[in-house]
Amino acid sequence: MPRLDYVRLTKGAFLMPSVDHMFNKNILNVNLERIFTGNQRIPTRRELRGIFVNLVRLTDKALREYDAARAELIRYVDVYESSFAIGPYVRAIDHMENCIDTSYRAVLNARALYANGYGRQVLQLTDNQERRLHRCRDGGTRPMARCSGI
């Protein structure tokens, strides 16, 4: 029986979903809306507006880091059987660590906005999802096992 903390990176078994369908330049939209429309969904208090802009920036960054990690893993899998090059694998780990840390920071910003009355109509992370993200971020001696919930 396969274990969740043991993943085989081969061309036929590589499954890491693409996020190409997700827009990762939302900070541009936020700035345009602030300049041209005075959108009421954007907080007007200076400190909350900073948290909101940071949430959008971090969300964009998390998507870009995930996409970069995926691209490096694909590059690694493509050359793995014919080469001992581990550079793409190491870069993929770096990008995935950045993605996880950035996602966690975005959740903290979203929580701060929610506590101040913003984002009541959007989905929130469940306690279990937030706990798992926190464990992934903290890493440890077996970070992938910690992320999978083992």
pLDDT confidence tier of residue 68, bands split at 50, 70 and 90: very high
* Contact criterion met (CB below 8 Å) for 68 and 95: yes
Task: Give the list of residues 6+ apart from residue 63 with CB closer than 8 angstroms, or none.
Answer: 19, 22, 24
| Residue 44 phi, psi dihedral angles, 5° rounding | -95, -30
The pLDDT confidence band at residue 141, using thresholds 50, 70 and 90, is very low
Question: Average of pLDDT values for 18-46?
Answer: 71
Mean pLDDT for the chain? 79
pLDDT tens digits, one per residue of 87-128: 998 999 999 999 999 999 999 999 999 999 888 888 788 888
Check residues 56 and 79 and name the one with the higher pLDDT: 56
Residue that has been written with the tokens 């966690």 in this structure: 104
Q: How confident is the model at residue 1 (pLDDT cuts 50, 70, 90)?
A: very low
Confidence check: pLDDT of 36 > 50: yes
